[in-house]
Structure 1
Amino acid sequence: MSLKIRLARGGSKKRPYYQIVVADARSPRDGRFLEKVGSWNPMLGKDDEKRVELNAERINEWLAKGAQPTDRVLKFLAEAGIAQRDVRSNPEKGKPGKKALERIKEKEMKAAELAAAAAEAAAE
């Protein structure tokens, strides 16, 4: 039986609330689980201490038994210092594309032309 530490959704429509549970990987998302080990309330502010609540002692026991956290839960565990998470970054993601670079160059050229014209007008 493969175990997962994952999120089970609760709450009403457009007001999500998640329980962090240990469940068999084959069971449904909101179905049967073995133990509740925490909660996540995305409706609270990011700096609120009750946004993510974890039972670190029980999570460590389940991790020792071979339970695998999902990506989102692993992110919470890494923030709490319970588990290590590999940094996944795409350095190319935030860079502007070719068209955007062309538009930036055009704006710079127009600004330089206007500055030159203003300097020329001030000199006369």
Structure 2
Amino acid sequence: MAVKLRLQRFGNHKRPFYRIVAADSKAPRDGKFLEIVGTYEPIQGTVLVNGEKVQSWMAKGAQPTDTVKSLFKKFNVLNK
């Protein structure tokens, strides 16, 4: 099972809100996930992430998607 750190969309029309989750790469975008590791609110421009959970999943071999990787870089998530 390949695990990805990716976004799961919530919110209303034109008011998105995302969860950053660890999920099986074959599961649907808004489907079953293994664990919630953070949130992203693009309208407010905030990212809240549990760094310990992210490090734990990445140590187990989880790969962040390109979008999640760019969010981590933009908000210095992995450096904290």
Task: Indicate the structure with greater helix content.
Answer: 1
CA 1:31/1:52 → structure 2, altered by over 3 Å: closer, same or farther?
same
Structure 2: gaps of 5 or more residues? none
Aligned residue in 1 for 2:41: 41
How many corresponding residue pairs? 78
The correspondence for 2:66, drawn from 66, 71, 87, is: 71
Within-5 A mapping of 1:43-122: 43-44=43-44, 46=45, 51-79=46-74, 80-82=76-78
Q: Give, as a single letter, the amino acid of the residue that structure 2 aligns with 1:22.
A: A
Question: Structure 2 CA distance, aligned partners of 1:78 and 1:56?
Answer: 13
Change (3 A) 1:67 1:43: same
Larger proportion of strand: 2
Cα distance change, pair 16–3 in 1 and its aligned pair in 2 (3 A): same
Give the TM-score, by structure 2 length.
0.91
Partner in structure 1 of residue 6 of structure 2: 6
Deviation at 1:81, TM superposition (A): 4.7
Kindly name which structure, 1 or 2, has the bigger radius of gyration based on alpha carbons: 1
Rounded Cα–Cα distance in structure 2 between residues aligned with 1:52 and 1:71: 16
Aligned to 1:109: none
* Higher-RCO chain (CA-CA 8 Å, sequence separation at least 6): 2
Distance (whole Å) between structure 2 residues aligned to residue 41 and residue 81 of structure 1: 15
TM (norm. structure 1) is 0.60
Identity of aligned residues (%): 47
Residue 21 of structure 2 corresponds to residue 26 of structure 1? no
Structure 1 residue identity aligned to 2:23: A
